Amino acid sequence: MNQEEYLSEILWAVTGEVYGQALFQTAAEQAEDKEVSRKCAVLADLEAATLARLQTLIDKYSLTYNDDEHIERGRQNGRKIIERGWQETMVLFNEAVGDDVDRMERLLDNAPEEDSGALQFLVAHEKALAFFIEQELAGSVESLSEAHKLLQET
């Protein structure tokens, strides 16, 4: 991975966190089911914590992006989560999350040592999200355990 690709992947991750925070925050605000709302609020917090960790890389590489676009798309899809239903949403998320974990692991593998802390947290966040989805689909009450562990590190 060359420098241009590396920075592009960091930017992709950053905008993904902006999008994810808006998505889960909107779903938390709009969910009538208090348990769904609580879960989405925790996931929004995890997205925000991950974005905060990535801020060092944004600053280091002077990365710029238009967060309005990603926030609006996140809000629209956050509303769709509520319209679609929780279980169907988890099925759709499950189809995508594995690719995201692999992509962020490749980014970490190609990172200079000084960037690894932020990117290790990013990978752990993706794995916590994958764990959450897997556990939700299995009906586990412990689906947020990995997310809570990461949030305790912040």
Domains of the chain: 3-152 (1.20.1260)
pLDDT digits over 77-96, tens only? 999 999 998 999 999 999 88
Q: Which residues of the chain have pLDDT under 70?
A: none
Q: pTM for the full model?
A: 0.94
Q: Are 125 and 107 in contact (CB under 8 A)?
A: no
Predicted pLDDT at 8: 96
Please state whether 139 falls in left (phi above 0), alpha (psi between -120 and 50) or beta. left
Question: pLDDT value at position 42?
Answer: 98
Strand segments, DSSP code E, in 5-136 are none
* Residue position matching structure tokens 């925050």: 25
Q: In this predicted structure, what is the pLDDT of residue 99?
A: 87
Q: Provide the pLDDT for residue 25.
A: 98
Whether the CB-CB separation of 143 and 39 falls below 8 Å is answered with: yes
**Count of helices and strands (H, E) across the chain:** 6, 0
Q: What is the pLDDT of residue 97?
A: 85
